[in-house]
Structure formats: structure tokens, C-alpha cells
Amino acid sequence: SDPYPFYGEHQAGIVTPAQDRLHFVAFDVITDKRAELAELLQEWTAAAARLTQGKEAGSFGAVGGAPEAAPDDTGEALGLPASGLTLTVGFGPSLFDDRYGLADRRPAPLADLPKFPGEQLVREISGGDLCVQACAHDPQVAVHAIRNLARIGFGKVSVRWSQLGFGRTSSTSRAQATPRNLLGFKDGTDNLKLEDADLLRDQLWASPQDSSAWMAGGTYLVTRKIRMEIETWDRTSLAEQEQIFGRDKGEGAPLGARAEFDPIDFAAKGPSGEPYIKDDAHVRLAHPSSNGDAHLLRRGYNYVDGSDGLGRLDAGLFFIAYQRDPRKQFVPVQMRLARHDALNEYIKHISSGLFACPPGVRDAGDYWGRTLF
Ligand code: HEM
């Protein structure tokens, strides 16, 4: 398949049909010079423009440079195609502290997330000044891209945390079949999709009228690493599992309906006189109708980080959601879920990230974040 274009009004990797593999990285910026930060973003942009087209990170490549110099590409993707690689950059709230004189440029939607009931966040794998999301059909290609960006950033940024995801848990286009998460359910049925032009304009992309004009064409990203109590879930009855989500496990249909894309009728009552979809069901609580019409573009990945030393899978969902304003979208939805979701018995939020993803790079003279600097 053809590589995805790197240049455009919006960054790729957001409404791009979700690829199968993820390597997500968050960096701390360690240089204290604003000019060096802007320079790094220019170098990264040049490398990303090449990498996403299946080329090596630098123009000499893994083996074409001087033998006495370290190569400008690490080599492990030699011979591999672009594999649908997209690279998407974001700026965390901590980038807008006093260090770089950017405090007055911090967009209002990039307000720190509140504490949510029940979360058990681990600081070392949360936050970050910058992030890069690499998605591809081949994990080697995604890892290669992140590794080379980290290499290019040596001395200016350091990796704070990173996460691999091995299977997409969302569809972001109607052309895609809905994948399944590690609890065995179809995930992404009722997601915002590439084809929903009006909703994307209203609910995904920052507009020039929003508080920070430099973000126009950009969007805001929330990540949550959500560990699953897989072994407990696996001893839960099928009926209970389906009630927790409010959808059936085989088809993904709303309970009380037949097919995956049948409309959800939250008022429909079963033979017992009770609603098919319970009050604490995940889809009822997360649905736009329960949240002032707030939608999210979910783009998460399954992860398994081996096992935890106690014989349990260290596994779950690396949740990724894009939106125009987390204060009106992720925050109220997650607050409702954190308080009431029947799924909470089986999950634990252990990391959190919040990033402003600037507009797309227009052409070779432009760079990631130019409108900010
Ligand atoms: C829907 C799974 C966490 C927001 C769904 C569905 C599943 C699911 C199976 C139904 C299919 C679909 O429409 O996509 C999970 C799992 C989670 C998780 C396993 C944690 C491990 C979250 C979080 C949020 C969220 C943290 C946001 C704060 C949504 C939304 C929908 C949804 C907005 C669509 C509801 C609708 O419009 O019908 N999720 N989810 N989910 N989830 Fe989650």
C-alpha cells in the first residue's frame, strides 16, 4: 500500500485508519534553550517526512555515510516498506512552564486533568513535555521511527516513558472491520470516524476561533494506560461481561438489538421489565447522550508487557483519544465512568498523558510546532 502523505492541514495518525501497531513515546526536554527546542522540532520534522515515506532517517542512511561517523539511520528498517507509518507529535502542559517563555501560549483546553476517583497513576510513566505517536502495520517500522527520533534528540530530550501496542482497539474509518480489545469485545463500533466530516469539524479539530489561534487545525490528545485484571475477567460469566458493556460479545450489538451497527436504544426494556442496557453499563455512561453530546476519537491499542511476577498478564488497553477540548470531552466522560462504570472492578488507570497536537506540516519549509514558536 502507498505511504500516507506527511504534509497536510492536519497531522497524519489521527483520522488515518488506525494501523495495527503502536510505539508511543513521551520525552522530557532537557535543553534550557528555546532555540534548541525549535531546532530539534525542525530536525524531527525532516526525519519524519522521510521515515513516513519509507526512507531512512537521514540522507546518508544506515551504511552510506563516513565509516568513522555514527550512521544517520540505525538500520533495522532497511528493506522494509513504509508500512503505513504515521508520526504524530504533541506538546504537554509542562512545555508551557517558564523555561521557554511559552507560558502565555498555553492553550486553555490543555488544562491539567483533574484527579479521577480510583486512578492509581505512576508518575514515571505519566506526563511528558513532548510526545510522538508512531503507528504502522509493522512493529519494527514503528520502533525504528521512535528510536531514530530519540537518537536525533540526544542531549536535547530524554525519553521519559514509552509504550508498545500490538493491536488496534478502534476503527477510525467505516472501511475498517471493528477489532477486539483484550476483554474479547469489539471496540470502536461507535467511534468518531474519518467519514463523519461534520462531527470532526465540531468535535475534533481546533478552529481559529478557539482560544489559541496557533492550534488551528490541531487537536488534543489524552492517553491513559489502563491495566486489566485479565484473570478475574476470565472467570466472569458471559452474561455479566455483556451487561458490563451493554453490548453482546459475539456481534457487538447493543443488548436488545441484533447487529453491530443497530442504533442503541437505552429505553428498550427486556422481558423482565428492566432496561436491556443497565444504568452502570459502559456504553450508556460513555455515550454522547449521557455527556452533553461529547464525542471522542478513540485510537487505542492492546498492550501486553509480559507478566507481572505473580503469574498474571501485565496487560490492558493503552487508551488514546483525540478531541477539540478535553475539558468538555474526555474529562466529563471519564469522571462519569470513574464514578459509575461496572467495568471499574476489572480495570485500573496507571498512567496519564495530555498533549496539544499542533496542526499539520504544510510543506518542506514548515515544521512541527512552527505556529507556536
Ligand atoms: C465504547 C471498551 C475505557 C469511552 C466502548 C465499547 C467497548 C469499550 C467494548 C463498545 C464498542 C464501541 O462503541 O466502541 C473499553 C475498555 C476500556 C474502555 C475495555 C478500558 C480498559 C474507556 C475510557 C473512555 C471510553 C477510559 C473515555 C473516558 C468510550 C466511548 C464509547 C466506548 C465514548 C462509545 C460509547 C457510545 O457512543 O456508544 N468501550 N473502554 N472507554 N468507550 Fe470504552
In the chain, domain spans: 21-357
Between CA 43 and CA 39 the distance in angstroms is 6
100: confidence class by pLDDT, cuts 50, 70, 90 = very high
pLDDT of residue 137: 98
pLDDT of residue 40: 98
DSSP state of 287: S
Please, what's the b/e burial string for 308-341 (b: 16 or more CB within 10 A of its CB; e: otherwise)? eeeeebebbbbbbbbbbbbebbbbebbebbbebb
The grid coordinates listed for 34 are 528555546
Span 304-313, average pLDDT? 96
> What residue owns the CA closest to ligand 1's atom 1?
283
> What residue owns the CA closest to ligand 1's atom 6?
187
Ligand 1 pocket, CB under 6 A: 181, 183, 185-191, 224, 226, 228, 245, 247, 264, 282-283, 286-288, 296, 316-317, 319, 330, 333-334, 337, 347
Average pLDDT value for the chain? 97
The complex's ipTM works out to 0.98
307: confidence class by pLDDT, cuts 50, 70, 90 = very high
CA dihedral 249, 253, 255, 258 (to 10 degrees): -120
Return the percentage of the chain with pLDDT > 70, whole number. 100
Residue 76 Cα to ligand 1 middle (Å): 35
pLDDT of residue 369: 97
367: confidence class by pLDDT, cuts 50, 70, 90 = very high
Position in ligand 1 atom list of the atom nearest CA 347: 21
> What residue owns the CA closest to ligand 1's atom 8?
187
Other Cβ atoms within 10 Å of 178 Cβ, number = 18
Helix axes 34-51, 139-152, angle to 10 degrees: 150
Q: Quick check: 173 pLDDT over 90?
A: yes
Looking at the chain, which runs of residues are DSSP E strands? 21-29, 86-91, 130-136, 157-165, 167-168, 219-228, 297-298, 301-307, 313-323, 347-357
Q: Quick check: 98 pLDDT over 90?
A: no
> What residue owns the CA closest to ligand 1's atom 37?
287
Residue 296 Cα to ligand 1 middle (Å): 10
DSSP state of 152: H
Residue 121 Cα to ligand 1 middle (Å): 20
Residue 245 Cα to ligand 1 middle (Å): 8
pLDDT digits (tens, 9 = 90+) for 232-241: 999 999 999 9
211: confidence class by pLDDT, cuts 50, 70, 90 = confident
pLDDT digits (tens, 9 = 90+) for 47-85: 999 999 999 999 999 999 999 999 999 999 999 999 999
pLDDT digits (tens, 9 = 90+) for 276-297: 999 999 999 999 999 999 999 9
Other Cβ atoms within 10 Å of 181 Cβ, number = 22
Residue 305 Cα to ligand 1 middle (Å): 22
Q: Taking the complete model, does pTM exceed 0.90, yes or no?
A: yes
Q: Ligand 1, from 203, 260, 282, 349: best to mutate by most atoms within 8 Å of Cβ?
A: 282
Side-chain-side CA neighbours of 293 within 13 Å: the count stands at 4
> What residue owns the CA closest to ligand 1's atom 7?
187
Q: Quick check: 15 pLDDT over 80?
A: yes
> What residue owns the CA closest to ligand 1's atom 9?
187
Position in ligand 1 atom list of the atom nearest CA 186: 9
